[in-house]
Amino acid sequence: MALIVHKYGGTSMGSTERIRSVAQRVAKWVRAGHRMVVVPSAMSGETNRLLALAKELQPARMDAAALRELDAIAATGEQVSVGLLALALQAQGVPAVSHAGWQVPIETDSAFTKARITRIDDARVRADLEAGRVVIITGFQGIDPDGRVTTLGRGGSDTSAVAVAAALKADECLIYTDVDGVYTTDPRIVPEARRLATISFEEMLEMASLGSKVLQIRSVEFAGKYRVPLRVLSSFTPWDIPIDEEARSGTLITFEEDEKMEQAVVSGIAFNRDEAKITVMGVPDKPGVAFQILGPVADANIDVDVIIQNVSHDGRTDFSFTVHRNDYVRTLELLKSKVAPATGATQVVGDTRICKVSIVGIGMRSHVGVASRMFRTLSEEGINIQMITTSEIKTSVVIDEKYMELAVRSLHKAFELDAPVAA
Amino acid sequence: MALIVHKYGGTSMGSTERIRSVAQRVAKWVRAGHRMVVVPSAMSGETNRLLALAKELQPARMDAAALRELDAIAATGEQVSVGLLALALQAQGVPAVSHAGWQVPIETDSAFTKARITRIDDARVRADLEAGRVVIITGFQGIDPDGRVTTLGRGGSDTSAVAVAAALKADECLIYTDVDGVYTTDPRIVPEARRLATISFEEMLEMASLGSKVLQIRSVEFAGKYRVPLRVLSSFTPWDIPIDEEARSGTLITFEEDEKMEQAVVSGIAFNRDEAKITVMGVPDKPGVAFQILGPVADANIDVDVIIQNVSHDGRTDFSFTVHRNDYVRTLELLKSKVAPATGATQVVGDTRICKVSIVGIGMRSHVGVASRMFRTLSEEGINIQMITTSEIKTSVVIDEKYMELAVRSLHKAFELDAPVAA
C-alpha cells in the first residue's frame, strides 16, 4: 500500500464525462490498495473564461489590489473541478473530500499571479487519508500570510501536485497529461522524436526551464529538492488498463545517475519562443552595473532568463538578457525611463522575433566537444547565433525565430536522437 | 457620511456591462461621501450552471459529504462576481477589495445547502473601510466551525447583506432587485397592485414568509432582530439618477408603527404555490404525538410550514402540515416507513396541487371581522378552503392551486388594495 499523488490537467478534466473517467481511474488505484491524493486543474477553458471576464472590467493599471482580485477570480476554476471530482468519486462509492488551497492550507508568498509555495500543512490531509478518503486538492493556488488567495501562475498545478507529494512524503507523484511522456524533442517539430523511459532530474529541469512544456519548471525544482519520484504519463489511455501497465508507462524522472551504462550524450532538444531579447548598450563597465540594471527588473517581478555581458570596450559594455514576451514592453519601458538615465547607458534595444534552442544531457559532463558539434550543425544550416549560454548539462543558443524548426530538426539528427535505443 | 450596505441580485450582475453599471452606481454613493459595503449575488445563471455540472456527476444519495462538495462548488459563483465588481470599481478609480465569506469570516452552522449565519467578525471589514476601500463581500455563503464552505440556500444573499449590515451597525441596507419595491400583491396576477412606500417589519416578515419573493424571509428576520433599516429598490433605474431620489425610492421596511394615521387594515396579499400538503390520518390522540410526527421530519432537515391538528374522534385525530414541494416525496416516504408504524397512524396521504393565499396587515390587530371577510369573499367565488391558519397580523388559507389567481384578485379587490392611498 503506497501513498500516491495524481495530477490531472485541464484537458483531462475538460467535461463531466472526462471527470467521470478520472474518477474511475483513481478508484482503480484505490481498489489496488493505495492511499490517493489527487490534484486537478480547472476544466479546460475555464481559467481563460474567467480571465476574459476580468479583462473586460479591470483597470488599465494592474496594481497589487487588482492582481489580488484577478487571483481570487482565477482560483475558482479549480475550486469547481475539485468539488466535481469529489462528487464523481463518491458516485463510484469511493469516499472523497475536496480542499481548496486555503483549506489545506497551502501557504504561499504574496506575489499575486505568480506566488510561490512556502509551506504546506499536512495535518488535515493526513487526517482525511487516515479516515479512508481520497483527498482532492486544488492545483494552481494557495493562501498568503494575510489570508488572501494567490495563484502560482500558468501550469502551477504541476507544482501544487509535487509540493503536496513532497509534504506528504508520497511514494510517487504521477502527472497525467495530454502527452504520454517526455520526448527527445517536440514530435510536432520532429516526427522522429522518441519517448524517453527515464530522464534524470537535472536533465528534466533543463528541459522544463528551456521550454519543453510537459512540466512546469518549478514542479521539477520541487521534485528535485524533496526527491519526489515523478512520472509523466498519458491521461488518454483507457482508465481500465491494468494498473501494473499504467504504473510503468510514461517517463520516470530519476534521481540516481542511473542504471543505463551507456547514456546518450544528449538526451533531448528543447526550444522556446516565448522570450524576447533586450540589450542595454554602452553601459559604463564598473562594479554593480548588473545589479543596477537587473535590480529594478526583479523589483517589478519580471523573470529574467538568459543574461549575457560582453567584454568591454573603452570602459563601456553591452548588457543583454531575455524576458518573457508578455513582460517585454513593460521591461523596455522600465529600462528606458529609469535604468538608462541612472546608469548612463547610451541606448536600449530589443527584439521579440527570437527563439532559444538548447541541447540537454547529463552525458555532456563527461564528453567534450558537444557544444562545438551544436555550433557546427547550426553553422552548416546557415543559422546565425545571437547569444550563447551554457551550464554543466546544457547549451542554449538564441537565434532568429524563423530558423527554430530547422535548428531543432538538424540538432535532433546530429545527436542521433532519432536512432533506436540499444536494448 | 453614513455606512451603507448595497445588495445586488444575479440579474443586476448578469454581464460585465451590468457589473460596470453597478460599479458606477456604487461609485456615485462613494462620491456622495458614504462608506460602502456591497454584497452581490453570482452572475445570473451561474449558480444553476454549477449545480447542473454537479448533478451530472453526483451520487444518487446526497449525504453530508456530497452536500459539502455541492456547497463548495456553488459558492464559487459569488467568488467570481465579487472579484469582478472589485476590478470594475478600481477601474472607476475607487479603491475596492473583495472578501469571500470564509475570509470575512461569516461563520455559519454546518447545515450544508441551507446553513445559518451564527456570527460575523467585522474586524477585517472595518479595517478595509477605515483604509478608504469599498468592501465587497460574497453573498449566499459562509464557513462552518470545521473550516468548510457552506451556502445559505436560494436567496441567501439577501440574508448575507442584512447580516453584514447588522454586524457593522450600518445606517441602511439597500436591496437592489428587479422590482422597484414591495407591492400589495404580485402585479403579474393583479395589474392594479400598488407599490407600498413603507411596510412594517412585521408585515414584511409575513409577506416574505408567505411567498412574496421580493426578499428572503431570513433576511427580514435578521433585519427585525437587529433593527436594520432595509429598503427594497430597483437596480434598473439609470445608475446616474440623483442620489437623493434614489435614496427615497422603493419600499422602506420600518420598525415604528408609524406615522400614517389611517393605516389600511390589510397591506397586502401574499401567495405561494411551492408547498405540498401531507395528512397523517387516524393518529392516536395522546400527548407527544405532534413531536412523534414532526421530530423525524425536523431531523431530516425538512422545513414545515402550516401545521394543523383537528379535534379528535374516538381517540384518534388527523394531523396535517405543509412542506416545500421539493421535500414532498422524501417527507411522504419518511412518514410511511417510520412515523406511521411508530405512531399507529392508519394512513398517510398528500397533495401537491395546492396553494396558500394570505392577507397580511398590522391593522388586523385592531379590526375585527377581517378573517371572516376573507372567507366570505372566497365563498362567493366558490373556492373551497382546505386549511386555515392565522397569526396576529395575517390569515392564510390553503386552497386548490387552480383557484390561486382568482382568490388573489378577488381578495385584492375586497380589501380595496387597488384604491389610491389617501394623501
| Domains of chain A from N-terminus onward | 3-179+214-254 (3.40.1160.10), 261-423 (3.30.2130.10)
Task: Give residue A261's pLDDT band: very low, low, confident or very high (50, 70, 90).
Answer: very low
pLDDT score recorded for residue A201? 85
Q: d(Cα A294, Cα B260) in Å, to the nearest integer?
A: 73
- DSSP for A218-240? HHHHHHHHHT--EEEEES-S-TT
Q: What is the mean pLDDT of residues A202-231?
A: 80
At residue A257, the pLDDT reads 57
Contacting residues of B for A58, CB less than 8 Å apart: 87, 90-91
Q: Does A24 touch chain B (CB under 8 A)?
A: no
Please measure the distance between the N-terminal and C-terminal CA atoms of chain B and give it in whole angstroms: 32
> Which residues does chain A have within 8 Å of residue B26's beta carbon, measured at their own beta carbons?
none
- pLDDT tens-digit series, residues A23-54: 999 999 999 999 999 999 999 999 999 999 99
The answer to whether A194 and A268 have CB atoms below 8 angstroms apart is no
Mean pLDDT of A91-113: 97
* Local confidence band at B262 (pLDDT 50, 70, 90 cut-offs): very low
A83 contacts chain B (CB < 8 A): yes
Q: How far apart are CA B410 and CA B413, in angstroms?
A: 5
* Band (A388; pLDDT cuts 50, 70, 90): confident
The Cα–Cα gap between A295 and A304 comes to: 11
Distances (CA, A) of A147 to A35, A82, B85, B160: 30, 21, 20, 21
Please list, in sequence order, all residues whose beta carbon lies within 8 angstroms of the beta carbon of residue B65, skipping any fewer than 6 positions away. Answer: A86, A90, A95, A96, A97
Q: Given an 8 Å threshold on Cβ–Cβ distance, is A86 in contact with B76?
A: no
> Hey, what amino acid is at A403?
Y
Q: What band does B313 get if pLDDT is binned at 50, 70 and 90?
A: confident
Helix (H) or strand (E) holding B151: strand B149-151
| Averaged pLDDT for residues A89-102 | 98
Contact B79 A82 (CB under 8 A): no
The DSSP code for A232 is: E
Q: Is B84 on the interface with A (CB under 8 A)?
A: yes
Q: What is the pLDDT of residue B71?
A: 97
What is Dmax (Cα atoms) for chain A? Answer: 75
Backbone angles phi, psi at B411, to 5 degrees: -70, -40
Q: Distance (Å) from the C-alpha of residue A250 to the closest C-alpha of chain B?
A: 29
Q: How crowded is the C-beta side of A236, counted as CA atoms within 13 Å?
A: 8
Of A87, A95, A147, the CB nearest to B57: A87
Q: What is the pLDDT of residue A262?
A: 47
Reported as a single tens digit per residue, the pLDDT across A144-181 is 999 999 999 877 999 999 999 999 999 999 999 888 88
Q: How confident is the model at residue A256 (pLDDT cuts 50, 70, 90)?
A: low
Mean model confidence pLDDT for chain A = 90
d(CA B87, CA A68): 10
Percent of chain A whose pLDDT exceeds 90: 60
Percent of chain A with pLDDT over 70: 96
Residue B180: the pLDDT is: 86
pTM for the full predicted model: 0.78
Name the CA dihedral angle for A96, A99, A104, A108, rounded to a multiple of 10 degrees: 140
Nearest chain A residue to B64 by CA distance is A97
Residue A243: exposure state from Cβ atoms within 10 A (0-12, 13-18, ≥19): middle
The per-residue pLDDT for range B95-116, each reduced to its tens digit, is 999 999 999 999 999 999 999 9
Residue closest to A5 by CA, chosen among A264, A233, A238:
A233
Tell me B351's DSSP state.
E
**Partners of A319 in beta bridges:** A280, A309
Instruction: Give the whole-angstrom CA distance, residue A154 versus residue B365.
Output: 65
Report how far Cα A51 is from the mean position of its chain's Cα atoms: 20
What pLDDT was estimated at residue A418?
84
Instruction: Name the DSSP class of B313.
Output: B
Helix or strand (DSSP H, E) at A66? helix A64-74
Separation CA A422–CA A193 (nearest Å):
16
CA angle B95/B101/B103 to nearest 5° reads 65
As given in the structure block, the three cell numbers for residue A329 are 514592453
Checking DSSP bridges between strand A134-137 and strand A96-99, what pairing results, if any?
A: parallel
Which chain A residue shows the shortest CA-CA distance from B105?
A147
Residues 6 or more apart whose Cβ sits within 8 Å of residue B148: A103, B68, B71, B72, B110, B112
Flag whether pLDDT at B155 surpasses 80.
Answer: no
B275 pairs with which residues across the strands? B324
Chain B residues lying within 8 Å of A147, measured CB to CB = 103
Please, what's the b/e burial string for B173-208 (b: 16 or more CB within 10 A of its CB; e: otherwise)?
Answer: bbbbbebbbbbbbbeebbeebbebebbbbbbbbbbb
- Would you say residue B196 has pLDDT above 60? yes
Give me the pLDDT at residue B350, please: 93
